[in-house]
Amino acid sequence: MDEIREFLVIDEEEGDRLDIYLSSQLGDMSRSYIQKIIKEKKVKVNNKEQKGKYLVKEDDKVVIEIPAPKLLEVTPQDIPIDIVYEDSDLLIVNKQQDMVVHPAPGNYENTLVNAILYHCKDNLSSINGIIRPGIVHRIDKDTSGLLMIAKNNNAHNSLAEQLKDHSITREYEFICHGVVKEDKITVDRPIGRNPKDRLKMAIVKDGRNAVTHFEVVKRYENFTHMRARLETGRTHQIRVHALSINHPLLGDNVYGPKNNKFKTNGQTLHAKKLGFIHPSSKEYVEFDSQLPTYFQDIINKLK
């Protein structure tokens, strides 16, 4: 049976495109899938059909008819993945840039989950359900680097608890616009949904606590190679905090300049180091990864 959802537009959301507005309201549902529903005439604003480009107004009543989910099968696919470490409890994967972590409506293939289902067969935790088996945490499609995959529920619970306690070591490296003057900077500013653009995150007064420790790796002309250590793990945390100190990430088309001379496929951001207490041995383990080719190529050009 189809699901009917109703929303009332508030003043802060006025001026958003209808498809963007619904994307922000419906979480994991992709904008392209929402556009498909709109084209199928299953969205009405004040009882009238509207196109995706319609700009919502305060007090608009938006009603969407979400098609009943089909019996979902996420298909294992033989996709090459870079496995850094594996045992009976977990898998550490070095995700390539451009790879989506888990399926979402309208995109059920060629994700990391499809790949690990093929590699691990039935040996994955079930805590996050069919769509995200084994997925303890995620990184953006355009971010490369290390991810933990849980093979059983005990391992998943242990790793998730460490994430909640902020006890996992997570270090990233990135290239940002401008020359950062300070060698080290700590940004302690709350992050929440951007009230002017619901698809973005921003520094907001009533946002969730977020702390990032930045350190300069090397300065170049007009750019800086940086390291970031996360205390918290908010959505787009590094990207938003870097923007807050006026040094947006190179290639970040959401928070930084739209064009750059390096023609990158998204932000130059790599999850380089990951450390945690192993669920079974109870010993601290740490994994490191080399900077990917796309990242190293830019450094070579900057040199």
| From 19, 60, 140, 252, active-site residue | 140
Q: Is the dihedral of CA 44, 48, 54, 58 positive or negative?
A: negative
pLDDT, one tens digit per residue, over 62-81 is 999 987 755 556 889 999 99
The answer to whether 297 is a known catalytic residue is no
Q: Show the beta-strand stretches assigned E in the chain.
A: 3-8, 43-45, 48-49, 61-66, 82-86, 90-95, 144-150, 169-177, 184-188, 191-193, 201-203, 211-220, 223-230, 269-277, 284-288
DSSP code of residue 42: -
SS3 at position 184: strand
CA dist 51 and 207 (Å) reads: 32
Q: What is the pLDDT of residue 258?
A: 82
291 or 198, which is more confident?
291
Q: How far is residue 87's CA from residue 66's CA, in Å, rounded to a whole number?
A: 40
Q: Which pLDDT tens digit goes with each residue over 148-191?
A: 999 999 999 999 999 988 999 999 999 999 999 999 999 999 99
pLDDT of res. 69: 58
Predicted pLDDT of residue 70: 56
Mean pLDDT of 197-223: 93
